[in-house]
Structure 1
Amino acid sequence: MTTAPHETWQLRNGTAWVFTAGERLTGPVVLVGDAGTDLAALTASLEDGPYPLLTELRARGRGLVLVGLPADAGISGDGGTVQEAVQRVIAEVPDDTPLTVGGTGRGALAARYALASMEYMRLDHRTGTHFSHNGAVPDLDEEAELTRLGGRPRAPLFLRMLDGGAADGLGEDEADLTTTGEAAPAGSLFSKECGSRLLDNLPH
C-alpha cells in the first residue's frame, strides 16, 4: 500500500500530509509530529514495525493528517500551526464527524495547547478524542501559559500514552485514560499496545 500523501497542505508555520481512505478525507486523525521531524520519516515510522497505523486507519475508512512542525518554534507558534490544521480539516470534512487530534513529543504539547486555546476562545475544534504520546514536558513559561488556558482541553476524551521510562509532566489524574508499555522498536512510532489503544478510542 502506498505511503505517498493524497495531498499536501502548506500551513503558515508548517506542512501537513493528508492521507485518505478513499476519494476524500473521512473520520480523520490529526497527528502532530515532534518538532523538526521529517514527514517522510514520520510516515515510515507509522508503517514500519509492530503496528502499521496508517494501514489500520485506512482499513477502517479513516484518513490521517500528519502535521510537521519546525525545529525551533515556541508553543504558541506550534499551537497556531495545529489550530490552522484542525480548522482546515473541519472545512474539508463538513459533516459532524468528530476529529481525533494529538501528537508525539513536542507535537503532543502543541496539540494540547491548540485545543485548550480554541476552547478558551470558544472556537469549535470538533474533537472527540485528544491523545498525547510521550508528550514533551513543558518548561515553566509553557506550563504557565497552559495553566492560563485551563491546562488541557476539557471537551474531548484525553488519552495519554507513555512508553516505558518516558515522562510528560502530567499527573496520573490529568488524563481520562493512561496507557504505558514498552517502547516501540527503533524506527517505529507506536508500539502495538499504544497503536491499538488509540484505535480503540477513536470517536464515532
Structure 2
Amino acid sequence: MTTAPTTEWHLRDGKARVFLAPGRRGIQRPVILVGDAGTDLDTLTTSLEDGSYALLAELHASGRDLVLVGLTADGALGGQGETVQEVIMRTIGERVGSVPLAVGGTGRGALVTRYALARSENQAVDLQTSVHFSHNGTAPAGEAEVDLLDRMGNWPVRPLKLGLIGGGATSEIDVEEFDESTSDDSDPGSALLSKELGTWLLERLPS
C-alpha cells in the first residue's frame, strides 16, 4: 500500500502529489521529481518506498518535502515542459523558507525538467532552482525536440547538473554534459534508486 499524499494537484499533462514530512503544513526544502512519461503515480510512489532503499523516507529524514509529478504518456515536450514549469511555480508559491529547489526526473521526466528549466532561463523567469538531477535521462527524440531544446539553450545554465545512471542502464547523454555524475550497475529491484545512488544524490541537494 502506497503512502497517501498530503495533497494532489491536477495538471494539464498529468498530476502531481505533494508528500510533506509528518507534522508539516507547508513545503520545505522542496525536491521535485518527475517520473518517466506514462508511469502511474502509485507505481512511482511504491518505487520510492521500497525496502531496499526508500528515497521518500530518506528525503523526509533529511528535512525535505517531495513533489512527485506523473506525466501523460503521449504529451509533447513543449507542453510537458510548461506543465513542469507550472509545478515549479506553484511549489515556490507554497514553499516555507527560501531554500532553493532541486528539480529533476527519471527517464523522459529528466528530459522534460531539463527543457522546463532551460525555457525558464530563456524567458528570464527565475525558478529558484539550484540543482537539476537526471536519472537514466533520455535524449531528445527526433529533430523537432532537438531543435526545441536548442532554441532554449539546450541545458539550463544556473543549476548544478547531476547525472545518475543505475541498474545497468546505458546513458543516452554524454556524462561530460553534467557537472557531476555517477553510476551504479547493481540491480535496485523495484526501488527507483539504489542506496548508493540515493545517498550520492542527497549529499548534493540544497541545504
For structure 1, list consecutive stretches of 5 or more residues without a partner in the other structure.
none
1:187 to 190, 193, 200: 190
Match of 2:18 in 1: 18
Unaligned runs of 5+ in 2: none
**Secondary structure at 1:4's aligned position in 2?**
coil
Q: Any runs of at least 4 consecutive aligned residues in structure 1 with deviations exceeding 4 A, and if so which?
A: none
Residues 1:91 and 1:188: Cα distance change in structure 2 (over 3 Å): same
1:49-80 alpha-carbon deviations (Å, 9 max, x no partner): 42211101111221000001001011111111
1:16: how far off? 0.3
What is the match of residue 36 of structure 1?
38
TM-score scaled by length of structure 1: 0.94
CA contact (8 A) 2:167 2:187 kept: no
Whether the aligned pair in 2 keeps the contact of 1:29 and 1:100 (CA below 8 Å) is yes
Name the amino acid aligned to 2:109.
G
List per-residue Cα deviations over 1:91-129 (Å, max 9, x = no partner): 001532100000001101100000000000000110011
Identical pairs, percent: 52
1:158 counterpart residue number: 161
Larger displacement relative to structure 2 (163-172 or 142-151): 163-172
Label 1:112 to 1:57 Cα distance change in 2 as closer, same or farther (>3 A).
same
For residue 141 of structure 1, the aligned residue among 139, 144, 150 is 144
- Which residue does 1:127 correspond to in 2? 129
Letter aligned with residue 189 of structure 2: A
1:83 to partner: Cα distance: 0.6
Q: What is the total number of aligned residue pairs between the two structures?
A: 204
Q: CA deviation at 1:170?
A: 2.0
Partner of 1:3: 3
Q: Could you tell me whether the CA contact under 8 Å between 1:32 and 1:69 is conserved in 2?
A: yes
Question: How many Å apart are 1:168 and its aligned residue?
Answer: 4.0
What amino acid maps onto 1:160 in structure 2? G
8 Å CA contact retained: 1:138, 1:169: no
SS at match of 2:48: helix
1:103 aligns with 2:102: no
Measured in 1, the distance between the counterparts of 2:133 and 2:123 equals 21
| CA RMSD, 1 decimal | 1.6
Which TM-score applies when normalising by structure 2?
0.93
- In the TM superposition, residue 164 of structure 1 has moved relative to its aligned partner by 5.1
